[in-house]
Amino acid sequence: MSAPQSRFRTANYYRNIVSPGRALVCSRLIKKGQGIVAFRGQVITQDDYDQLPTNRLHYTLRLFEANDPPGTPYFNQYLDCYDNAQATPTKCMECMANAADGLYDRLSDISLTDADNNADTAILDTPEARKIGVRTIGEQPTLVLYALRDI
């Protein structure tokens, strides 16, 4: 796995065309359904999330669906991976993965959509994560990036 600068472009808050940063790439075949990596970060609450500066929000993942009712596991909790992503070398390379929606591919001159995503995330218990090939630490539930199709 490596995280070079992305070849894609996107519009920022000010509608300027910019790089989305680095992109997660792998030199070996990843099969559909296979775990790719587990995110590493600190679980924080909604109140903590609301206090984060904008640059840190780009490395924070919501652990619940927007329409989940209160009482759902991980409701109003987030995984803050900023410190691990900024470490040298990075301790959370998976944070370099980008959602396809809104990215522009300069090489093929097309704009990508959600249908172009080749991976997604799921919260798995440790045995489930290990079953699809993801290394875990301890017995905590793990946020896993897995392949939606052969990559």
The helices-and-strands tally (H runs, E runs) of the chain is 4, 10
Q: Which of 2-6, 104-108, 121-125, 145-149 has the lowest mean pLDDT?
A: 121-125
Q: How many angstroms separate the Cα of 26 from the Cα of each of 37, 74, 93?
A: 11, 30, 11
Does residue 19 have a pLDDT over 80?
A: yes
Position 10 pLDDT exceeds 70:
yes
| pLDDT confidence of residue 8 | 92
139 confidence band (pLDDT: 50, 70, 90) = low
Task: State the Cα–Cα distance between residues 29 and 34, nearest whole angstrom.
Answer: 10
Least Cα distance to 102 among 17, 39, 10, 1 occurs for 10
In percent, the amount of the chain with pLDDT more than 90 equals 26
- The pTM (predicted TM-score) of the whole model is 0.74
Q: Are 46 and 79 contacting, i.e. CB atoms less than 8 angstroms apart?
A: no
What digits encode the pLDDT tens for the residues 42-86? 889 999 999 999 889 888 988 888 888 888 888 888 999 999 888
